[in-house]
Amino acid sequence: VIMEIKAPGNKPQWLQDILDKYGLMEHKFSKYSCAYHKSQGLPYAPRPSIESAGTAYA
């Protein structure tokens, strides 16, 4: 399941509390890059996550 979250600036605290409660992690994902690779018949895999202060970033 993928859920896209957009918020101006930082995420609201109530949302961060929910993400923390369920152990959900943030991963950067480029829809453009994925679509480009797919259109060229190339494999696409987001970069591996890097842990930073309890949040996972790709």
Strands (E), the chain: 50-52, 55-57
| Residue extents of the structural domains in the chain | 25-57
Q: Are 29 and 58 in contact (CB under 8 A)?
A: yes
Q: What is the pLDDT of residue 56?
A: 47
Burial status of residue 4 (CB atoms within 10 A of its CB: 0-12, 13-18, 19 or more): exposed
Per-residue pLDDT of the chain (58 residues; tens, 9 = 90+): 777 888 888 889 999 999 999 998 887 778 888 899 999 999 888 766 555 555 544 3
For the record, the structure tokens of 58 come out as 């790709």
40 phi/psi in degrees, rounded to 5: -95, 5
